[in-house]
Amino acid sequence: MSVVRVRDRLPAGDALWATRAAAFPPGEFVGQESFVTAGEVLALARRAGIARGARVLDLCCGIGGPGLLVTRELGCAYTGVDASPGAVDAARRRASAAGLAADFRVARVPPLPAGRFDVVLLLETLLAFPDKPALLREVAAALPVGGRFACTIEEGRPLTTAERTAMPGSDTVWLTPLARLRADLNRAGLRVRWCVETSRTHRTTVDALVDAYAAAAPDLVGVIGADAVERLLTSHRLWSRWLRDGRVRKFAVVAEKVRP
């Protein structure tokens, strides 16, 4: 999602971490910088067939919250990649503290790391890739036939010039209609096996985050600065309005690689 990226500076207990945690129901916050809950992450992972021993590649993993949750609960062989060295360092520290075996790497995608994986996971970040067909071809190449791509999707018409001006971080907001995304998946050899809309629950989450950020704004200014707090509030309020009006819809998707 388009949010202020401060994940390199998210030690447990700081003001921003505590504010985000307070916006989620108990047990649903695991360090994610998005609107997806821990329960939704696990439901998607199970739908994708992630289980003990499954080789999982988590793209744009950030500080590893959802990935470490999946590793702990489902016992997979996990590899997370992110372009931010600070985020990867934080993820490694969190894995070590939790006693979890997880491989974290600094990498910008595409391309994807070499190797074959049973599941490729991409949570709340497909939106940031302007060339989705190129990414999906890489995902398909990393999967064997029968392998699964599990992702969350923000769908809608591309942003107008006015919308880009209004949205902070709009260089990471590349909306695509759902029909086009399905066509891109098909061309990459990935067939959708499961698709469920999550717009309503994600709007509930974003509204809770808006309330939490607004209430904690005086403390957050001292952590990330006034401009960053204003961008957080502006971007989340826009997401709330767009989800309410249907300008953007959210989906959880599992696609399976099929034979060419």
Could you tell me which residues come within 8 angstroms of residue 232 by beta carbon, excluding any fewer than 6 positions away? Answer: 3, 4, 213, 220
Which pLDDT value is given to residue 10?
45
Query: Splitting the chain (260 residues) into consecutive groups of 10 residues, what average pLDDT does each group show?
Result: 43 72 95 94 98 97 96 97 95 96 95 95 97 98 98 97 97 96 98 98 97 94 91 97 98 94
C-alpha closest to that of 8 among 106, 125, 78:
106
Which pLDDT value is given to residue 48?
98
Which pLDDT value is given to residue 32?
92
Which pLDDT value is given to residue 171?
96
User: What is the C-alpha end-to-end distance of the chain, expressed in Å?
Assistant: 32
Summarize pLDDT for 99-158 with one digit per residue, the tens: 999 999 999 999 999 999 999 999 999 999 999 999 999 999 999 999 999 999 999 999
- pTM (2 d.p.): 0.92
C-alpha closest to that of 1 among 196, 175, 212, 180:
175
CA of 20: how far to CAs of 29, 30, 141, 210, in Å?
A: 8, 10, 36, 10
Which pLDDT value is given to residue 148?
98
Which pLDDT value is given to residue 181?
97
Which pLDDT value is given to residue 238?
98
Beta-strand (E) ranges in the chain? Answer: 55-59, 77-82, 102-106, 119-122, 148-155, 190-197, 249-257
Which pLDDT value is given to residue 224?
86
Which pLDDT value is given to residue 14?
76
| Domains parsed from the chain with CATH numbers | 7-257 (3.40.50.150)
